[in-house]
Structure 1
Amino acid sequence: MTIDKVVGSAEEAVADIPSGASIAVGGFGLCGIPMVMIDALLAAGPDGLDIVSNNCGVDDWGLGVLLAAKRIRKMTSSYVGENKEFERQYLSGELELELTPQGTLAEKLRAGGSGIAGFFTQTGVGTQVAEGGLPRRYNTDGSIAVASAPKQVQPFAVRGVEKEFVLEEAISTDFSLVHAKLADRHGNLVFDKSARNFSPLAAMAGRLCIAEVEQIVEAGELDADAVHLPGVFVDRIVVVGTDVEKRIERRTVSSTATKEA
């Protein structure tokens, strides 16, 4: 039986995402973000969203457009330093933040997509990540309204040396949104170099995954060894073409070539 997961438009793909949904979103900075899906979600209008993503884009691009429209209730992220509106909303008590170490966030998403309830890691032991007290939401007067709770810490012997590890729970979400370079109609995805970043993990964590892709091929045309994410994790595909806008988050090179002395 042929399973064709391609849908007609981004609007159709996100039409059933309701207010209050939890969504894992691929990307790292502005690299590999599903911007077409984000714009479609902005137009669709759901609010009170719980977003899990490495960061929240910038003020006018990426997840930053949803944030500016007051559509996001909570962010679970590892880096939040490129968005002034994010800072304002967080410090004023309008936005809840679950700040998570980057590698831990990646593993929490992978675990959620793999049916693993949790795992122990050394990352965060001896800090507020494990001991609790990280501000998750502020009051308008700057006092802490909600703080992170303490987590279970347990010793394990690793290579004959006993060390402490903190228990981290897996993340699974209602939906996930990712951007890929290439897909077949069964949903097998190929990402473009560093644009792969968190995307396979975010895709796995969503109970319903929507992938925007630049190119589509027929089933059987992809080399199985080239597939980065099997189609079993992908439910819907939207073809967005190769000319989608891809912004650079922070340009770090000169606009003109340096002349040799």
Structure 2
Amino acid sequence: MSLDKTVESAAVAVADIPSGATLAVSGFGLSGNPIALIEALREQGASELSVVSNNCGVDGWGLGVLLEAGQIRKMTSSYVGENKEFARRYLTGELELELTPQGTLAEKLRAGGAGIAAFYTRAGVGTQVADGGLPQVYDAEGQVVQASQPKEVREFAPGGTAAEYVLEESIVADFSLVHAWRGDRHGNLVFNMAARQFGPPAAMAGRICIAQVEELVEPGEIDPDQVHLPGVYVHRIIEVGTDIEKRIEKRTVSPSGGEG
């Protein structure tokens, strides 16, 4: 069997994603959003998707594209504050939301890819994350109709100091969609800067991982010591080019300091 995992287009790469699938999607803010794959999935039309990602893009970009098209049923995220359409759909009962602490979400994805069913963490102890009650679904009148359930909490004493820890289950998705800086035909990936935050764990969590890369190279051209995610986790790869559009949520500038 050939180790060449390249496919000819984003449309081909996402063609078999069915309605109702669970997706793990890379991105930290808008950094590392696999926009070519997202737009191809928009055209493909799969609906009722459950998406696990740090955030849901912004209005008109990133996962916001799928949200505006009504293709997302549920989001599992850490941060959702840059998307007005997200807020509208959530507060009117059109979207289910499972809020998860950022580090916990990254570990839930990584653990899923590593075959770890669950783990204990201090994050969320003493809050609604552990105790339950976080609003997950509203009705059209703005009333909470579904809230998060309490999680198991146990006491451990690592290093001799006793503390409470909450049990978090790992996440395994049907598909992963990720953006990387470089990749080879065997699927070995290199992520750039902030895109490395959620890129590798999101990729690991998918039963089928689809990667878009800015630069596709031949096997052996990437120093093994520079590989952030080995190709064993990647099943399909496409090249999108280095000139692909990249956006940021907000641009801030400071005065140059000069006069005139």
TM-score by length of 1: 0.97
1:180 counterpart residue number: 180
1:140 counterpart residue number: 140
The one-letter amino acid paired with 1:15 is: A
How far off is 1:220 after superposition?
1.5
How far off is 1:258 after superposition?
3.2
* Number of equivalent positions: 260
2:257 counterpart residue number: 258
Alignment of 1:195-214 (within 5 A): 195-214=195-214
Alignment of 1:45-194 (within 5 A): 45-194=45-194
Q: Distance in 2 between matches of 1:235 and 1:40?
A: 17
Secondary structure of 2:30's partner?
coil
Q: Contact between 2:26 and 2:195, CA under 8 Å: does it hold in 1?
A: no
How far off is 1:195 after superposition?
2.0
Q: Deviations over 1:63-91 (max 9, x none)?
A: 00100111100000000000000000000
Secondary structure of 1:154's partner?
strand
Secondary structure of 1:110's partner?
helix
Q: Distance in 2 between matches of 1:31 and 1:81?
A: 16
How far off is 1:252 after superposition?
1.7
How far off is 1:249 after superposition?
1.2
Q: Distance in 1 between matches of 2:76 and 2:70?
A: 16
Q: Distance in 2 between matches of 1:46 and 1:9?
A: 17
Q: Distance in 2 between matches of 1:158 and 1:8?
A: 50
Q: Deviations over 1:220-241 (max 9, x none)?
A: 1211000000000000001111
Secondary structure of 1:159's partner?
helix
Runs of 4+ in structure 1 deviating by more than 6 angstroms, as ranges, are none
Q: Distance in 1 between matches of 2:183 and 2:252?
A: 32
Q: Distance in 2 between matches of 1:187 and 1:21?
A: 23
Q: Distance in 2 between matches of 1:260 and 1:135?
A: 52
Q: Distance in 2 between matches of 1:230 and 1:189?
A: 7
2:32 counterpart residue number: 32
Q: Distance in 1 between matches of 2:191 and 2:154?
A: 37
Q: Distance in 2 between matches of 1:94 and 1:194?
A: 31
2:41 counterpart residue number: 41
Q: Distance in 1 between matches of 2:16 and 2:179?
A: 19
Q: Percent identity?
A: 67
Q: Distance in 1 between matches of 2:41 and 2:75?
A: 16
Q: Distance in 2 between matches of 1:260 and 1:51?
A: 49
How far off is 1:16 after superposition?
0.1
Q: Distance in 1 between matches of 2:29 and 2:225?
A: 28
TM-score by length of 2: 0.98
How far off is 1:2 after superposition?
4.0
The one-letter amino acid paired with 1:258 is: G
Q: Contact between 2:111 and 2:170, CA under 8 Å: does it hold in 1?
A: yes
Q: Distance in 2 between matches of 1:86 and 1:258?
A: 39
Q: Deviations over 1:204-229 (max 9, x none)?
A: 00000000011111111211000000
Note the aligned Cα RMSD (angstroms).
1.2
The one-letter amino acid paired with 2:249 is: E
